[in-house]
Structure 1
Amino acid sequence: MPHIKRMADQNDDKISDVMEELLKHYNGYRFSKRKVKVFNPFSLMTALKYMDIANYWFETGTPSFLNF
Structure 2
Amino acid sequence: MVHINHEYCKRCGICVNFCPVKNLEIRQQKLRELERCIACRMCERYCPDIAIEIEEIDAKTVIAGK
TM-score (norm 2): 0.28
Greater relative contact order structure (CA < 8 Å, 6+ sep): 2
Higher helix share: 1
